[in-house]
Amino acid sequence: MKKLLLLMVLILMAALIYNIYPEAKLAKTAQIDSLVVFKSQHQMLAYQQGKLLKTYQVSFGNSPTGHKEFEGDEKTPEGIYAINAKNDKSGYHKNLGISYPNAQDIKHAKLIGKSPGGDIKIHGLRNGLGLINKFQRWFNWTNGCIALTDTEVDELYQSVKIGSKIQINP
Q: What is the pLDDT of residue 92?
A: 95
Strand partners, 38: 43, 169
At 6, is the pLDDT very low, low, confident or very high (cuts 50, 70, 90)? Answer: confident
Mean pLDDT of all residues in the chain?
94
Residue 4 within a domain: no
Q: Which of 42, 93, 108, 145 is catalytic?
A: 145
Q: Which residues contact 134 (CB under 8 A, 6 or more apart)?
A: 18, 19, 57, 149
Whether the CB-CB separation of 36 and 45 falls below 8 Å is answered with yes
Rounded distance, CA 30 to CA 155, Å? 9
What is the three-class DSSP state of 19?
Answer: helix
The whole-number average pLDDT for the span 6-18 is: 86
Give per-residue pLDDT as tens, 16-40.
888 888 889 999 999 999 999 999 9
Q: Which residues contact 71 (CB under 8 A, 6 or more apart)?
A: 109, 114, 115, 116, 117, 118
At 100, is the pLDDT very low, low, confident or very high (cuts 50, 70, 90)? Answer: very high
Residue 14 within a domain: no
Task: Write phi, then psi, for 72 (nearest 5 degrees).
Answer: 95, -5
What's this model's pTM, rounded to 2 decimal places?
Answer: 0.91
How many separate domains does the chain show? 1
- What is the domain-level CATH number for residue 118? 2.40.440.10
Give per-residue pLDDT as tens, 110-151.
999 999 999 999 999 999 998 899 999 999 999 999 999 999
Q: What is the pLDDT of residue 156?
A: 97
Q: Which domain does 132 fall in, by range?
A: 33-169
Active site residue 145: yes
Q: Which of 42, 67, 108, 123 is catalytic?
A: 123
Q: What is the pLDDT of residue 7?
A: 84
Per-residue DSSP letter, 77: P
